[in-house]
Amino acid sequence: MKKSVLILGGAGFVGFNLLKTLAEKNIYKLTLADNFSRGKMDDSLSLIVEKYNIKVIKADFTIPSSFDLLDNEYDQLYMLASVVGVNNTLERPHEVIRINTALTYNTLEWTKKAKIKKILYTSTSECYAGTIEAFGYKVPTPEEIPLCIEDIAHPRFTYAVTKMLAESGFLNYSKKVGFECTIVRYHNAFGPRMGFKHVIPHLVQRFLSNESPFKIYGHDQTRSFSFISDSVDGTILAMESEKSNGEIYHIGSSEEISIEELIKETGRLMNYNGKYENAPTYPGSVSRRCPDIAKAETQLGFKPKVNWKKGLKKTVRWYEEFYKTGVESFEKGFELPNN
């Protein structure tokens, strides 16, 4: 008998790729729930839904009554729904707080009456970004690091605050309500179709506009990047393993690169021959971030397979083709840091 699986936020970047991977395994009865805030279901998603007979529920889950549209029992719930993106935190921090908090609270309250065997909540490395800056914790960074932000009033950290709340909420509700729970913290998952408010789509857009000299915002900052197929594999491993119950895992790559290296590799892929110029970074951006993934490797058997350069090439080509079509994106793209 197939496991019944609900993906809340299944039309987003990670959700779409997770849905596709689970569907291809043909051992799950899948339900996709989303508000489709990015617009209507696109052709790629429609094909998967039709091919694998996936149930689709369109609703705003910041409204409690929307949960009445769902079934009462699921073997697994992937909780991915949230508002994300640096631009969103800076432009509408109040909405980031409202939406993400409502999604978390409504889902948790729904678990009191629904029968869910296991929930996997998707969190972020943003939760401990301030710890590295303020206290100098080691990089690559393990899961047991204290969660911290630098400035409670800064809008940049509203996303992280909502994710911290949700981590605590799901772990503690699970003990009282009676479902198993696992947290995964993503570290810069990227790939085709990731949206337009992220660093790589921004770079492609700027290179296509022939920016010269090309400004490298935060050139000496470092990050690790995880291609979406690796992020999805780690997510499924965390859900399926009994060892993961009650645990938190960093899902990403332990290869740390500079923003300058990322930008110049993107420029190389796009045949840029102009000059580069270092420039200030985005407000609230941290200097280093890279996960220690030893726990996921030893307990889950997780191992990244796609090198960041290979993944970057696939991603850049996808966005090049999209921008050249002239089709208007569903989100605003690049914004200058001082804007």
- How far apart, in Å, are the Cα atoms of 224 and each of 56, 76, 251, 264, 304? 34, 29, 11, 16, 12
Check if the beta carbon of residue 163 is closer than 8 Å to that of residue 122.
no
Please identify which of the residues 28, 128, 159, 173 carries the catalytic annotation: 159
CA-to-CA distance for 306 and 312, rounded, in angstroms?
10
As to burial, measured by CB atoms within 10 angstroms (0-12 exposed, 13-18 middle, 19+ buried), residue 94 is exposed
> 308-325 and 259-269 are packed helices; what angle lies between their axes, rounded to 10 degrees?
60
Reply yes or no on whether 323 is catalytic: no
Task: In whole angstroms, give the CA distance from residue 277 to residue 206.
Answer: 14
CA distance linking residue 303 with residue 298, whole number of Å: 9
DSSP 202-250: HHHHHHHTT-SSEEEETTT-EE--EEHHHHHHHHHHHHH-GGGTT-EEE
Residue numbers annotated as active site: 159
